[in-house]
Amino acid sequence: MKARTFRRHVRESFKSLGRNGWMTFASVSAVTVTLLLVGVFFVIMMNLNKVATTIEEDVEIRVHVDVAANDKDKEVLERRINQISGIKNVTYSSKEQELASLIESLGDEGEAFQLFEQDNPLNDVFVVKTKNPTDTMKVAKQIEKLDYVATVKYGQGKVEKLFSFIKVSRNVGLILIVGLLFTAMFLISNTIKITIMARKREIEIMRLVGATNGFIRWPFFLEGLWLGILGAVVPIAVVSAAYYYAYDFINDKLKDHFIKLLEFNPFVYQLSAILIIMGAAIGIWGSLMSVRKFLKV
């Protein structure tokens, strides 16, 4: 396509937006509201995913070694644990280390447990991490069957509920985002359809003088593109500003829980790029669908 022809298509697409002012406003508003909701859901989903990943990474299996096991038995047990599929690493913690950790975690109240330093009732422990956190339950059941294993603890019941909640949250968020995107595509498609109907006579004249199908379609294609990009401007500004203030506030509240939101930079810039691409994509898609369905060329 020649540069002159392309400039002509760009001018025509902007003229069409101006001629159909109210429909343009309605479409941009619809895309704005949709992408604003998408942006909010995306921020929540991505941060929920980060928090979920952090929690998943903290999930571990604590294998309490039978008190009857000697050093050789422990070496054999460690080797057999490492042979299980899906194991990331195995760390040994002696009963002395376990008692010291318990005392430290309880603070002032832990001083009472210093009485057990001479006659330690705790077990030696193997701390096991899996490559995939969702394999924790399966691996734990395999470890339970090994010799010299007294008990296996990994937060039974709570871990299963946590992984189930995380999975449902991710799926629901994805479905909502996809649904909103299709709504925006439908609205833009209707706008382009009305534009085509309003310019039906002009299109017929263009066809009579020999205009190609591509020549007729290009202005509508660009019109959808502009509608999508314009609709992304306000959501980017609103979501970025809201996240800027929410980032410091929420991180300050969660600092004692070792949970942090995604860093403002580069997350907001990545989100902005995604919203612009989404806006352009749904604009182009809506335009192409309406042109293919309602423009018989």
pLDDT in tens, the chain (297 residues): 567 666 766 776 667 666 666 767 777 787 788 788 888 888 888 887 777 777 777 788 888 988 888 889 888 888 998 988 888 888 888 888 877 777 776 666 656 555 555 667 788 889 888 888 778 888 888 888 888 888 888 876 666 677 777 778 778 877 887 887 777 667 666 766 676 666 667 667 777 787 777 777 777 778 778 888 888 888 899 989 888 888 878 777 766 556 677 888 888 898 899 889 888 887 777 777 766 665 554
Under 8 Å CB-to-CB from 42, ≥6 apart: which residues? Answer: 177, 271, 274
The answer to whether the beta carbons of residues 283 and 31 sit under 8 Å apart is yes
Using CA of residue 255, residue 258, residue 259, residue 262, what is the dihedral sign?
positive
**Does pTM surpass 0.85?**
no
- What is the three-class DSSP state of 296? coil
